[in-house]
Structure 1
Amino acid sequence: MKQAESHILVIFGASGDLTKRKLIPALLELEKQNLLPDALAVLGVSRTNLSDREFRQRMTEFLGKNEDEKLVTKFLDRLFYQSISTSESYDYPVLKDRLLTIAKEKAIPENFIFYLSTPPQLYEIIPKNLASVDLNKSDDGFRRLIVEKPFGTDLNSAKELNKNLLNYFAENQIYRIDHYLGKESVQNLLVTRFSNGIFEPIWNHNFIHHVEITSAESLGVENRGGYYDHSGAMRDMVQNHLLQLVGMVAMEPPVVVEADAIRNEVLKVFQSLRPIKEEEVEKYVIRGQYIESHIKNELVKGYRQEEGVDPESRTETFLAMKFFIDNWRWAGVPFYIRTGKKLPTRVTEVVIHFKKTPHHLFGNQYNTEQTANQLVIRIQPDEGILLKFGMKVPGAGFRVQSVNMDFHYEDLADAQRLPAAYERLLLDCMQGDATLYSRGDAVEKAWEYVQPIMNAWQNNAEIPIYGYPAGTWGPDVADQLVEDGQWRYPCKNLSNDGTYCEL
């Protein structure tokens, strides 16, 4: 593994929730595994007035109670804090002076990573202010900028954001972070496909009937009603996370396992998506909104009753869509995406549905179960892979039963734990590897694809938004999208799939 160069990680929005719950714990895990460079400092930046000592104390609350004391002390010694007004350019010379002072005291080269853990309205202001004091220039060391999603709220805002970022930082300095791509099981999509001779030859329209991707959440909007009502499932999940999954499932083999080679192939998939015109949206896209229901004998509020949500809201909490990828590999193969809140369980998986055998020998003769093979790639939870195929039931005749062959990541002998997404992504940026980060042109292409759908919803009030009881798999009408079958209804457990269902 490439060793990360010594540097200073600057976290804007250091007093925020993401820093405390994700970034600092991820950095501690990297410390445990000796993956951080010896000379590393983390400078928290926010408006709150704190000393270095107070900042370290606050971060201690999020490090776990049973951590090794020496390790925690070593880690906390890396943390520093600087209070500035991030939106005001006059405070940035102060930030630059502090960075150079820390670099000199700790013998760290002038390599800086800037992490924007801030509200999106600061994504254009902070890079501009950094550039005003030459902190964007790579003359004396590398400069990298990590930007959290959302990367815009529509096509125009995404283009505007990219344009403004590129005014101050080069594309190869910008790391657009999508935590979904940091999941081990997402990365394993590439390995499953391209390292196994049994899969790649049949990964095309000749053998695959359709592809189904589900990302279900059992929770509702919780305390984020005000935010979610201006976002919805399309912006929150489909445009970024799920289209990135589609890109990895459908991409051509890259020439090398290297950032630009892989991201070029993902972009080609987005360029091949068959456009859905505004007048076709009802045919290919179903949206829904959870309504009041009882789950385990407990009354659950509907979406419009949630705090911060417009009582007449038409924001989708469920979305199902059918689309095609018009290229040689996927000609005619339907892809289905489904995501939603207040569904029966929390699960994300990719299902490859293979075509049935051309001659239904046993099904026709004995009127028994004859199902097509499925390859289930589980992203979360119970991460692993499940293959479903037919076997003969013992006894007279040729009665066929679908059986399972599965693999779990936890079964790997040397896998003590699956690294969290932010651990992997932070380490990748430290090492200068942008493979699992979104590139600007792909972000714009994804927005370009979903924009006509959002336009249709905005311009045509007659396009329905279907209610579905909280705790169910969404509106029944979503089943009409799927030809020759129905959606797979996954359970939390991957093992013993079809024998029992854990929700």
Structure 2
Amino acid sequence: MGPMTDSIAWNNPLRDPRDLRLPRIAGPCSLVIFGVTGDLSRKKLLPAIYDLASRGLLPPSFSLIGFARRDWTNEHFIAFVKEAVEQRSRTPFKEATWENLAKGIRFVQGTFDDAEAFTRLSDTVQELDRDRGTRGNHAFYMSVPPSAFPTVSKQLAASGLAKSSEGAWRRVIIEKPFGHDLQSAKELDRVVSEVFDPSSVFRIDHYLGKETVQNLLALRFANAMYEPIWNSNYVDHVQITMAEDIGIGGRAGYYDGIGAARDVIQNHLLQLMALTAMEEPVSFSAEDLAAEKSKVLSAVRLPSNLQDHTARGQYSAGWQGSTRVGGYLEEKGVDQSSTTETYAAIRLDVDTRRWAGVPFYLRTGKRLGKRVTEIAVVFKRAPHLPFENTAVRELGKNAIVIRVQPDEGVTMRFGSKVPGGSSMEVRDVSMDFSYGRSFTENSPEAYERLILDVMLGDPPLFPTTKEVNLSWKILDPIEEFWSTLGQPQPYRSGTWGPTEADEMLARDGRHWRMP
């Protein structure tokens, strides 16, 4: 590119410099993972680190430290990492790439309340600074239950690991959920902020790292055809769905007592709603994006009648495809009297000029008909249809559907004339854009993008403290109301949730989309 093209590309507020052909490569640093033997680390984090290395986005000095209670040597841990990489990495396994990465892998055995273990961790960090050239730059990934955040934070402070030297940085990455209500979220934030500067705290929401979620911003703000109709003049309602076809698996210890709303709506779905409803930011910087998202969350109004405009359910035994599956109360480790919901649906209204009168319906559940996450913007019917009633009796509403996963892309649903015949017969059709068919590039996993952003100190895709607190303010009254209702309504595995969820939309004269 010439000088003029370079200037346009870097200064265009709708062009993210990270998407240019010149890659952003992290500087010298290490990543310490607490809870490194857990499912998240094995299935997502370790493969993502290898994929970053395979793409040439990690520095030669990059080092990885695993912290866990297992009595392992460095060699044991290296073998564990290699197995995870071989099974789950997105890019092909290359022996040369692996050997370079393995040279910087270390393991520290200990528990979170063991001060001596953190002393050993501090010694390991200093060794990496000296022998690997990590230069005092270290990120700490808390892939641990929220209850462990305060203990780990205080140990990092006591051992001096949280304190950065001049010209270096220390950062902490925290997995959701950040608390279980507003009060606990504020307390966790207070504890973490006593140890780390707020600018060094990165709260992970992996959905915000997905390519399709980021493409929502491009769809809205880089195209002239959508933004003029993205408002209450044309939009009837918005549905945001995250459906899973699996149960809780072996996560009863985490999930029971948390439930679908805290696990998914408070973070993933409210973030997707904020991105869908927000005004155009001044830029795509972290501050400007957070400001617009926070305005949306601040403007959310709960329904006056939570009984009619919320729904919750708990999956019972049924069929998932051709497989017979048990109900939630049959899952190992679940209390037989549990009132934890595995399905949650809520209606929210956004009291702004753009969205006044447009309901947002959010739903999530386990053991549903299929795995899908989508944002469906459903438009009002045309004000006048100059056709015979018989010609349009099956015509639905226009919709733009952003498919987040799987089969990432965008579908537009509209009415079209049926070919042939002398009469005007109109039927719903779809026009589809698919990432997989339109781009030859293999999209990176969300955790690749987010881990790299932490190392670069680039936080646009990470929710702020204000966003987290506003989200809990929305959800807490709903959770409090649900706590008075007793057992959630059962729904058969393999279906699309409890009947009260359908009734919730029917009261508004609407129905759920069938993904």
Aligned partners of 1:276 and 1:453 also within 8 Å: no
1:478 maps to 2:501? yes
Q: Using the TM superposition, give the Cα deviation of residue 297 of structure 1 relative to its aligned residue in structure 2, in angstroms.
A: 5.7
Q: Using the TM superposition, give the Cα deviation of residue 257 of structure 1 relative to its aligned residue in structure 2, in angstroms.
A: 0.9
Distance in 1 (alpha carbons) for counterparts of 2:260 and 2:140: 29
Distance in 2 (alpha carbons) for counterparts of 1:10 and 1:62: 17
Partner of 2:199: 172
Of the three residues 215, 219, 223, the one matched with 2:246 is 219
* Counterpart residue type for residue 471 of structure 1: G
Partner of 2:331: 306
Percent of pairs with identical residues:
41
Aligned partners of 1:360 and 1:370 also within 8 Å: no
* Counterpart residue type for residue 249 of structure 1: T
Give the 5 Å matches for 1:333-348.
333-348=358-373
Q: Using the TM superposition, give the Cα deviation of residue 107 of structure 1 relative to its aligned residue in structure 2, in angstroms.
A: 2.1
Give the 5 Å matches for 1:455-470.
455-461=480-486, 465-470=488-493
Give the 5 Å matches for 1:214-363.
214-276=241-303, 280-296=305-321, 298-362=323-387
Of the three residues 121, 125, 134, the one matched with 1:108 is 134
1:69 maps to 2:95? yes
Q: Using the TM superposition, give the Cα deviation of residue 211 of structure 1 relative to its aligned residue in structure 2, in angstroms.
A: 0.2
Distance in 2 (alpha carbons) for counterparts of 1:144 and 1:363: 64
Partner of 1:418: 443
1:162 maps to 2:189? yes
* Counterpart residue type for residue 440 of structure 1: T
Q: Using the TM superposition, give the Cα deviation of residue 255 of structure 1 relative to its aligned residue in structure 2, in angstroms.
A: 0.5
Distance in 1 (alpha carbons) for counterparts of 2:133 and 2:323: 59
Q: Using the TM superposition, give the Cα deviation of residue 261 of structure 1 relative to its aligned residue in structure 2, in angstroms.
A: 0.9
1:24 maps to 2:46? yes
Distance in 2 (alpha carbons) for counterparts of 1:89 and 1:224: 29
Give me the TM-score of the superposition, normalised by structure 2: 0.90
Partner of 2:14: none
Q: Cα gap change, 1:236/1:51 in structure 2, threshold over 3 Å: closer, same or farther?
A: same
Worse-superposed segment, 251-260 or 61-70: 61-70
* Counterpart residue type for residue 31 of structure 2: L
Give the 5 Å matches for 1:104-143.
104-140=130-166, 141-143=168-170
Q: Cα gap change, 1:391/1:77 in structure 2, threshold over 3 Å: closer, same or farther?
A: same
Q: Using the TM superposition, give the Cα deviation of residue 298 of structure 1 relative to its aligned residue in structure 2, in angstroms.
A: 4.6
Give the 5 Å matches for 1:55-66.
55-64=77-86
Distance in 1 (alpha carbons) for counterparts of 2:285 and 2:72: 41
* Counterpart residue type for residue 293 of structure 1: G
The count of aligned residue pairs is 485
Secondary structure of the equivalent of 1:24? helix
Q: Using the TM superposition, give the Cα deviation of residue 64 of structure 1 relative to its aligned residue in structure 2, in angstroms.
A: 1.3
Aligned partners of 1:84 and 1:95 also within 8 Å: no
Secondary structure of the equivalent of 2:85? coil
Structure 2, unmatched stretches of 5+, are: 1-17, 19-23
Q: Using the TM superposition, give the Cα deviation of residue 367 of structure 1 relative to its aligned residue in structure 2, in angstroms.
A: 4.9
Q: Cα gap change, 1:292/1:97 in structure 2, threshold over 3 Å: closer, same or farther?
A: closer
| Superposed CA offset, 1:308-357 (max 9, x none) | 22222221111111110011111010111111111111111110101111
Distance in 1 (alpha carbons) for counterparts of 2:485 and 2:492: 25
| Superposed CA offset, 1:365-419 (max 9, x none) | 745433221101001111110001111112212111111111111123431x221
Secondary structure of the equivalent of 1:124? helix
Q: Using the TM superposition, give the Cα deviation of residue 364 of structure 1 relative to its aligned residue in structure 2, in angstroms.
A: 4.0
Secondary structure of the equivalent of 1:459? coil
Distance in 2 (alpha carbons) for counterparts of 1:407 and 1:363: 32
Q: Cα gap change, 1:224/1:93 in structure 2, threshold over 3 Å: closer, same or farther?
A: closer
1:427 maps to 2:458? no
| Superposed CA offset, 1:2-49 (max 9, x none) | 332211111122233322221111011111110112221111122323
| Superposed CA offset, 1:56-85 (max 9, x none) | 122111121762211211121121122233
Q: Cα gap change, 1:446/1:38 in structure 2, threshold over 3 Å: closer, same or farther?
A: same
Distance in 1 (alpha carbons) for counterparts of 2:176 and 2:271: 13
Partner of 1:199: 226
Secondary structure of the equivalent of 2:400? strand
Give the 5 Å matches for 1:384-395.
384-394=409-419, 395=421
Partner of 1:398: 424
Partner of 1:500: none
Aligned partners of 2:216 and 2:276 also within 8 Å: yes
1:51 maps to 2:73? yes
Q: Cα gap change, 1:127/1:363 in structure 2, threshold over 3 Å: closer, same or farther?
A: farther
Q: CA RMSD in A?
A: 1.8
Secondary structure of the equivalent of 1:104? helix
Distance in 2 (alpha carbons) for counterparts of 1:28 and 1:129: 28
Worse-superposed segment, 418-427 or 62-71: 62-71
* Counterpart residue type for residue 61 of structure 2: A
1:15 maps to 2:42? no
Partner of 2:9: none
Aligned partners of 2:28 and 2:133 also within 8 Å: no
Partner of 1:499: none
Q: Using the TM superposition, give the Cα deviation of residue 90 of structure 1 relative to its aligned residue in structure 2, in angstroms.
A: 4.4
* Counterpart residue type for residue 247 of structure 2: G
Secondary structure of the equivalent of 1:61? helix
1:371 maps to 2:393? no
Secondary structure of the equivalent of 1:205? coil
Of the three residues 476, 479, 487, the one matched with 2:512 is 487
* Counterpart residue type for residue 454 of structure 1: E
